[in-house]
């Protein structure tokens, strides 16, 4: 068995964020009169304003995001993510994984740990790209990765700050695209799905873990107590209620071009794992 070595690659792409911000501002300025409305939780806002509001939410809660996830789900989110990884069943044979909206690293770290169960001599190294539009979330993830100090058998990880609706990657770049509890925060879910399809290789797999419905009478007060941030968590829970039901989201994934689309409910439908293939 080959000795394990830890290889981590950090890519700073902050200029991309500025580029996307400027691009958005230019587009929104030129078409202000035609700016459509969308939802921000239960609020109605201009599409040009939603991404700024969502960005601010995650800036405010980045440091306490994992703590609140534990409190909000009584720790069950960890089980959901473990099941998500089991359903993915990565073989570790040179896989290129894009984990979108994965700033704090929960999915990426599970994938890296999963790979270490496979003898290095029996597989090719894999690569993980953790992508998030919010640098604060990525900063938390990078700090967690350094503390984790996980040995990797040639597997690499990079951190990219970019917009899910306009990814800075070439066509057919990845074997797997994952997004957990992130797609409901995007302004144009259809564009996110289209980009996921574009960057996946033929035969590549799209997997999404997302809430379907949830009670929000308890979560916002818990957010205030644990993170001293009531309004951001009020938005997070309201956004769950506004997200399409499982069958509706399945149809959206199919419309983006994915085949063999299916979903599995977990915990009586509180969350669902959605899956599709680029064939």
Q: What pLDDT, on a 0 to 100 scale, did the predictor assign at position 36?
A: 77
| Closest listed residue to residue 145, CA positions, set 33, 7, 27 | 7
Q: What pLDDT, on a 0 to 100 scale, did the predictor assign at position 235?
A: 67
Name every residue whose Cβ is closer than 8 Å to that of residue 22 and which is 6 or more positions away in sequence: none
171 assigned binding-site residue: no
Name every residue whose Cβ is closer than 8 Å to that of residue 215 and which is 6 or more positions away in sequence: none
Q: Which fold has domain 41-278?
A: Rossmann fold (3.40.50)
Show the tokens assigned to 274.
């959605």
Provide the residue count of the chain: 279
Cα distances from 160 to residues 8, 103, 175, in angstroms, run 13, 9, 17
Phi then psi for 57, rounded to 5 degrees? -55, -50
99 assigned binding-site residue: no
d(CA 137, CA 62): 5
CA atoms within 13 A on the CB side of 152: 27
DSSP-H helix ranges across the chain: 14-30, 47-61, 65-73, 76-88, 106-115, 135-148, 189-199, 219-227, 230-242, 246-255
Q: What pLDDT, on a 0 to 100 scale, did the predictor assign at position 121?
A: 78
| Closest listed residue to residue 132, CA positions, set 187, 55, 189, 32 | 55
Q: What pLDDT, on a 0 to 100 scale, did the predictor assign at position 12?
A: 39
Q: What pLDDT, on a 0 to 100 scale, did the predictor assign at position 49?
A: 56
Please report how the helices 76-88 and 65-73 are oriented relative to each other, as an axis angle in degrees rounded to 10: 100
155 assigned binding-site residue: no
163 assigned binding-site residue: yes
* pLDDT by position in tens, the chain (length 279): 333 333 334 443 333 333 333 334 433 433 344 567 654 444 455 655 555 555 555 555 555 666 666 666 677 888 999 999 999 987 667 999 999 999 889 999 999 998 888 887 778 899 999 999 988 889 989 999 999 988 888 899 999 999 999 999 999 999 999 999 889 888 899 999 999 999 999 999 999 999 886 544 445 555 555 555 556 666 667 777 778 899 999 999 999 999 999 999 998 888 899 999 999
Q: What pLDDT, on a 0 to 100 scale, did the predictor assign at position 104?
A: 86
d(CA 73, CA 102): 18
Phi then psi for 247, rounded to 5 degrees? -65, -35
Give the Cβ contact number of residue 248 at 10 Å: 9
Give the Cβ contact number of residue 247 at 10 Å: 9
pTM above 0.85, yes or no: no
């Amino acid at each position: 068995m080959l000795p394990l070595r830890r290889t981590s690659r950090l890519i700073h792409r902050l200029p991309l964020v500025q580029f996307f911000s400027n691009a958005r501002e230019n587009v929104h300025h030129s078409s202000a009169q035609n700016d459509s409305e969308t939802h921000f939780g239960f609020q109605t806002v201009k599409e040009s304003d939603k991404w700024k509001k969502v960005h601010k939410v995650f800036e405010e809660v980045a440091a306490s995001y994992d703590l609140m996830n534990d409190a909000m789900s009584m720790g069950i989110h960890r089980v959901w993510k473990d099941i998500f990884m089991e359903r993915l069943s990565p073989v570790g044979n040179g896989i290129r994984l894009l984990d979108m909206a994965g700033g704090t690293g929960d999915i990426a770290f599970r994938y890296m740990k999963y790979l270490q169960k496979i003898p290095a001599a029996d597989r090719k190294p894999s690569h993980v790209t953790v992508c998030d539009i919010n640098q604060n979330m990525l900063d938390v993830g990078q700090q967690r990765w350094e503390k984790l100090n996980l040995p990797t058998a040639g597997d690499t990880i990079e951190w990219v700050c970019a917009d899910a609706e306009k990814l800075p990657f070439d066509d057919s770049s990845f074997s797997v695209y994952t997004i957990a509890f992130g797609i409901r925060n995007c302004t144009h879910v259809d564009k996110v799905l289209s980009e996921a399809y574009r960057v996946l290789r033929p035969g590549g797999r799209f997997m999404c873990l997302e809430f379907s419905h949830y009670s929000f009478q308890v979560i916002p007060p818990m957010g205030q107590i644990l993170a001293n941030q009531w309004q951001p968590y009020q938005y997070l829970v309201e956004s769950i209620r506004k997200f399409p039901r499982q069958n509706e989201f399945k149809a959206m994934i199919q419309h983006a071009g994915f085949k063999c689309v299916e979903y599995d409910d977990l915990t009586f439908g509180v969350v669902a794992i959605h899956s599709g293939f680029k064939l």
